[in-house]
Amino acid sequence: MERFKIFIKGRVQGVGFRPTVYRYANQFNLSGFVCNTQKGVLIEIEGIEENLKNFIEKIKKYPPPRADIKEIKIIPVKIKGEKNFKIIKSKKDLKVEVEISPDIAVCKDCLKELFAKKDRRYLFPFINCTNCGPRFTIIKNVPYDRKNTTMNEFSMCEICQEEYENPLSRRFHAQPNCCFVCGPVLKLLDNKGNFICEGIEAIKKTSKLLKNGKIVAIKGIGGYHLACDAFNKKVIRILRERKKRYEKPFALMAKDLETIKKYCYVSKSEEKILESWEAPIVLLKKKGEIFPEEVAPGNNYLGFFLPYAPLHHLIFHFEKNLNVLIMTSGNFSEDPIIYQDNSALKLLKNISDFFLTHNRKIYINCDDSVLRIFNKKIYFIRRSRGFVPSPIIIPYNSKKIIFAVGADLKNTFAFTKENKVFLSQHIGDIGTFLSYQAYKNSVNLFKNILEIEPEIVICDMHPDYFSSKISKELFPDLEKISVQHHHAHIASCMADNFSKNQKVIGVAFDGTGYGIDRNIWGGEFLICDYESFERRAHLKYFPLQGGEISIKEVWRIGAVYLYMVFGDTFLNLNIDFVKKIEIRKWEIIKKMVDKKINSPLNSSMGRLFDAVSSILNIREKISYEGQSAIELEMKIKNSKLPPYKYEIKKEKNLYIIDPEMILFEIVEDLKRKLNVGEISYRFHITVVDIIKNVCKILREENKINKVALSGGVFQNIFLLEKVVEILKKEKFEVLIHKQVPPNDGGISLGQAAIGVFKS
Ligand code: ZN
Ligand code: ZN
Ligand code: FE
């Protein structure tokens, strides 16, 4: 006989850990107890050696599906001679440090019951268990107990209560546990809020409405989706018109994996992540033009995800001919997803024909995550539902509790606690009333569930950033440290890779970031660590005439670039782009550029992509961020042609990359009627070539071999692939993002990591 004390750390609470331990202990005839502690789970276990060994093996090999064991410590202790095994309550005053679980897609066991005619939860749209169901979006406070979730409004019926209390049940301490008798109820409403029907009838009717070309707002896990049939061109057009989202791709929910495979190429790793419990939207290469162009105009990829709420499965179940739905966030442009019932009815009534809603409250909004697979690994576009609030582990302990405010676009914020950085869900573009509300609500929730009060605020240097202003309002008395945007990008990539505080060559390519010289940066090579950075190379400045308006009307950028290269004579160039320019408009732009009025200097790589996209006549204006670069990438046609020429000039300690020759040669290619796809290819490999050559110069000078790639431009998968390939060939060690997006959604991680060293 022996007895062990076993400490287990990681995501081990709220995932059915104790009942699993209980079952295993019984299986191997062991006695003792299991309980939650401040740091994780504590087991005391007693029995014969062989059984103890098997028990420990089993926990290691088969922990509950959602658990994530990070550490197991085993200490032999004195035998107590107990008879049986117990789950004991944690001490009342015990301050429990728990990792709150993200929301989890409905599990296989629950799905089986959902469609088993004899099960008491047959077709129950809120079925869940310890292994699945909503978590992050229903929790109001810690500890994660029913009374601290939005399920507190429902009291369990006798049978549910029994399941909840029975350690052998899959629903032991499943906080959202409920059934037809005691749980929430679905309702179908028209867009004036009038009741139509409820329960299963409401789902059946919804499926019919969708099949018949209607738009239905469906309340899901983290907010309302706007849904319609993905094969119905007419309704998609109406949806685009009403939502004022004219071209940005819509996400598609397919009823199963087989359906997705009909329309897209799906690799093994893509299959795995599509079917994972995180259930993100995965960007997949499409097989052909099967869907109406309106789904994702000008894009070779489709964003697919699988049903993750039981309700989604039921909607497909009731209408056999409904295979793929457009499921887009219920919101306006880049606002956060709408999740409260009253605001949904108010704000979405002009978009949606019907509402499928219910009375289980969503406490916090959480958009779907979006990612792609790159080199068999996850590469985020947006990290949100399914991943939040799991922390990112960094190699240093934060002495103070840091609040990192994030960027203004694609905002996420972050809190630090020891060596963990807790990134918020996707908040969206900050600046509107709704995003402001969402930001504040989320900050409060994170403070509650992490049980922390921030001690220092890290924000962007930009004097006009909304996020910085909000943080001043939220924490007026705290010390604030500002961090340069591109330094934060690179620090984010370093932290994402668990990098130590050693200097790297940081390539930060994006659209906009405030520079220390007060110009707009975005084509930057930094030598940096977490503590400091040095700007060592950048794309040559050009005047971004009009600022914001040029970012939307990208032809203005193209025109100014050509003007810089050819002078006034560019208007005589025999290319389509020039022929379309309205001379009157151009004259005004030219005057402003010449007089340096409202023409901030800009070194952004994103803007160079805009310029090229417009000169190639691909985009004149854009209707969503990044559109011109995305469509330029989509046009790529592989070619044997070499990169374009460009110049790298040394000015003191700084290298200036002058793209003048690139534009000159692009015009030459256009004149000789070279295919736009091949020009796009040449442009892309030119950017690759620039990165390679500048990195080589910087390696030579600084004896640094590590390159970190970050910034929104690295969402361009062609570019990323080629850059990684060529840098590896040149024997560089290359860091790319793994757990947070390369775009501004990852900025808060970088700010937090820098904050650890600056506070
Ligand atoms: Zn389940
Ligand atoms: Zn019940
Ligand atoms: Fe950025």
Domain harbouring 618, CATH code? 3.30.420.40
- Report the CATH number that the domain containing residue 308 is assigned in CATH: 3.90.870.40
Q: Which ligand is nearest to the CA of 157?
A: 2
Is 504 a member of any domain? no
Q: How close is the Cα of 318 to the center of ligand 3, in Å?
A: 44
Q: How close is the Cα of 160 to the center of ligand 2, in Å?
A: 4
Decide: 495 and 471 in contact? Cβ < 8 Å. Answer: no
Q: What is the pLDDT of residue 438?
A: 92
pLDDT tens column, 737-754: 999 999 999 999 999 999
Tell me, yes or no, whether 555 and 613 share the same domain. Answer: yes
Confidence of residue 95 (pLDDT cuts 50, 70, 90): low
Tell me, yes or no, whether 559 and 481 share the same domain. Answer: no
Q: How close is the Cα of 154 to the center of ligand 2, in Å?
A: 9
279: left (phi over 0), alpha (psi -120 to 50) or beta: left
CA neighbor of 405 nearest in space, from 458, 345, 332, 341: 458
Q: Which ligand is nearest to the CA of 181?
A: 2
Q: How close is the Cα of 466 to the center of ligand 1, in Å?
A: 41
Decide: 720 and 736 in contact? Cβ < 8 Å. Answer: yes
pLDDT tens column, 254-266: 999 999 999 999 9
Tell me, yes or no, whether 414 and 354 share the same domain. Answer: no
Q: How close is the Cα of 367 to the center of ligand 2, in Å?
A: 29
Decide if pLDDT at 93 tops 80: no
Q: Which ligand is nearest to the CA of 605?
A: 3
Tokens matching residue 122: 């047959």
State the helix-helix crossing angle for 605-615 and 627-634, rounded to 10 degrees: 60
Tell me, yes or no, whether 144 and 200 share the same domain. Answer: no
Tell me, yes or no, whether 158 and 119 share the same domain. Answer: yes
Is 70 a member of any domain? yes
Decide if pLDDT at 425 tops 60: yes
As beta bridge partners, residue 188 has 197, 356
Decide if pLDDT at 135 tops 60: yes
Strand ranges for 359-434 from DSSP E: 370-374, 377-382, 392-398, 402-404, 414-423
Q: How close is the Cα of 170 to the center of ligand 1, in Å?
A: 8
pLDDT tens column, 475-505: 999 999 999 999 999 999 999 999 999 999 9
Query: Can you tell me the distance from the alpha carbon of 342 to that of 219, in angstroms, rounded to the nearest whole number?
Result: 12
Tell me, yes or no, whether 337 and 416 share the same domain. Answer: no
pLDDT tens column, 267-278: 999 999 999 999
Tell me, yes or no, whether 222 and 130 share the same domain. Answer: no
State the helix-helix crossing angle for 433-450 and 466-474, rounded to 10 degrees: 50
* ∠ Cα 738 750 527 (to 5°): 95
Amino acid residing at 722: K
The secondary element (H helix, E strand) that includes residue 47 is strand 41-47
Q: How close is the Cα of 152 to the center of ligand 1, in Å?
A: 20
Q: Which residues surround ligand 2, an ion (CB under 5 A)?
A: 157, 160, 179, 181-182
- What average pLDDT does range 524-549 have in this prediction? 97
CA neighbor of 517 nearest in space, from 461, 476, 478, 596: 461
Q: What is the pLDDT of residue 94?
A: 56
Confidence of residue 96 (pLDDT cuts 50, 70, 90): low
Domain-terminating residue out of 87, 122, 157:
87
Tell me, yes or no, whether 639 and 614 share the same domain. Answer: yes
Q: How close is the Cα of 179 to the center of ligand 2, in Å?
A: 4
Q: What is the pLDDT of residue 39?
A: 79
Decide if pLDDT at 185 tops 90: yes
Q: How close is the Cα of 159 to the center of ligand 2, in Å?
A: 6
Report the domain count for the chain: 5
Is 94 a member of any domain? no
Is 717 a member of any domain? yes
Is 385 a member of any domain? no
Q: How close is the Cα of 394 to the center of ligand 1, in Å?
A: 32
Q: What is the pLDDT of residue 13?
A: 77
Decide: 105 and 111 in contact? Cβ < 8 Å. Answer: no
Q: What is the pLDDT of residue 289?
A: 87
Tell me, yes or no, whether 599 and 640 share the same domain. Answer: yes
Decide if pLDDT at 439 tops 60: yes
CA neighbor of 47 nearest in space, from 39, 55, 58, 37: 55
Decide if pLDDT at 98 tops 80: no
Tell me, yes or no, whether 717 and 749 share the same domain. Answer: no
Domain-terminating residue out of 336, 370, 404:
370
Q: How close is the Cα of 242 to the center of ligand 3, in Å?
A: 30
Q: Which ligand is nearest to the CA of 155?
A: 2
Is 365 a member of any domain? yes
Q: Which ligand is nearest to the CA of 154?
A: 2
Decide: 404 and 458 in contact? Cβ < 8 Å. Answer: yes
- What average pLDDT does range 225-239 have in this prediction? 98
Q: Rounding to the nearest 10 degrees, give the CA dihedral for residues 710, 101, 326, 511.
A: -20
Decide if pLDDT at 245 tops 90: yes
Average pLDDT, the chain: 95
Tell me, yes or no, whether 570 and 445 share the same domain. Answer: no
Q: Which ligand is nearest to the CA of 15?
A: 1
At residue 387, φ and ψ (nearest 5 deg) are -120, -30
Decide if pLDDT at 66 tops 90: no
Confidence of residue 699 (pLDDT cuts 50, 70, 90): very high
Tell me, yes or no, whether 352 and 212 share the same domain. Answer: yes
Q: How close is the Cα of 129 to the center of ligand 2, in Å?
A: 13
Q: How close is the Cα of 634 to the center of ligand 1, in Å?
A: 40
More confident call, 16 vs 650: 650
Q: How close is the Cα of 201 to the center of ligand 2, in Å?
A: 20
Structural domain boundaries enclosing 238: 186-370
- Report the CATH number that the domain containing residue 65 is assigned in CATH: 3.30.70.100
Is 337 a member of any domain? yes
Q: Which ligand is nearest to the CA of 520?
A: 3
Burial class (CB in 10 A: 0-12, 13-18, 19+), 397: exposed
Q: Count Cα atoms within 13 angstroms, Cβ side, for 702.
A: 23
Is 381 a member of any domain? no
Tokens matching residue 249: 């791709």
